[in-house]
């Protein structure tokens, strides 16, 4: 397999579909200053329980990807109808880079910079990542459901900075993924967390795009 700098690795279910040079088109050569992502103290007694039992969740955020090639930043938008569909939009400087739609049976990926797409099962992602990737795992990643995430000595998942969304539930504002094998750390800071508000889940593959063989 080619050595590819992985931008949105397992955390966003894209292993390894987006190349570092794609994102480099939208960021300066010098590494940008790191956003402040320090976790606030978690005071359990004052927080409502972690959100659960919802059917829809959506949020926006900014991700910082750090690997041996430096530091890169991009933004993302997630919409999840629980146990049904998960939509991910990744963009930089206001330009959409990739769009992904996951269902229990399929994984669709469209790269608008390379004019490529993948539409199929999760089998190639499991082979490339050596992790049991499926819809439930990707959904668990974006919902902070650590009990459903695999335990692996080369990967770590962490959720921090819990805050009350309303008087009845709280949610994390930061998630961190580390791939020790490829020396990659992804920090994602969330905002505009919304429950029970349906969002976009559509994806279209333009005719001129070429199928990506994994």
Taking each continuous run of H as one helix and of E as one strand, the counts in the chain are 3, 10
Strands 70-81, 155-164: pairing kind: unpaired
- What span, in angstroms and rounded, lies between the C-alpha atoms of 116 and 90? 15
SS3 145: coil
pLDDT at 45: 55
pLDDT at 151: 81
Contact between residue 99 and residue 110 where contact means Cβ atoms under 8 Å apart: yes
pLDDT at 30: 44
pLDDT at 79: 97
pLDDT at 38: 45
Domain boundaries, the chain: 10-26+65-202
pLDDT at 24: 52
pLDDT at 43: 47
CATH 3.20.20.70 for domain 10-26+65-202: no
Contact between residue 14 and residue 110 where contact means Cβ atoms under 8 Å apart: no
pLDDT at 3: 27
pLDDT at 5: 31
pLDDT digit of tens for each residue in the chain (214 aa)? 332 333 344 334 343 344 444 555 544 444 444 444 444 444 445 788 899 999 999 999 999 888 887 888 889 999 999 999 999 999 988 889 999 999 999 999 999 989 999 999 999 888 877 778 899 999 999 999 988 888 877 788 899 999 998 888 999 999 998 887 777 888 999 999 999 999 999 999 999 999 988 7
pLDDT at 22: 52
- What span, in angstroms and rounded, lies between the C-alpha atoms of 213 and 96? 22
């Amino acid at each position: 397999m080619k050595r590819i700098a992985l931008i949105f690795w397992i955390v966003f279910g894209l292993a390894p579909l987006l190349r570092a040079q794609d994102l480099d088109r939208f960021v300066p050569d010098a590494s940008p200053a790191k956003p402040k992502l320090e976790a606030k103290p978690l005071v359990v007694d004052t927080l409502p329980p972690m959100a659960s039992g919802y059917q829809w969740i959506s949020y926006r955020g900014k991700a910082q990807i750090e690997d041996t090639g430096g530091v890169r930043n991009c933004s993302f938008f997630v919409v999840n109808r629980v146990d049904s569909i998960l939509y991910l939009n990744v963009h930089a400087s206001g330009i959409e880079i990739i769009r992904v739609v996951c269902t229990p049976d399929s994984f669709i990926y469209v790269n608008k910079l390379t004019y490529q797409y993948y539409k199929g099962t999760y089998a190639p992602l499991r082979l490339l990542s050596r992790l049991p990737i499926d819809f439930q795992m990707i959904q668990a990643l974006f919902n902070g459901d650590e009990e459903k995430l695999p335990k692996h000595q080369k990967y770590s998942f962490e959720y921090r900075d819990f805050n009350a969304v309303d008087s009845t539930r709280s949610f994390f504002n930061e998630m961190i993924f580390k791939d020790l094998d490829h020396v990659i750390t992804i920090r994602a800071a969330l905002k505009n967390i919304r429950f029970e508000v349906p969002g976009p889940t559509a994806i279209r593959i333009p005719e001129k795009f070429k199928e990506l063989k994994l």
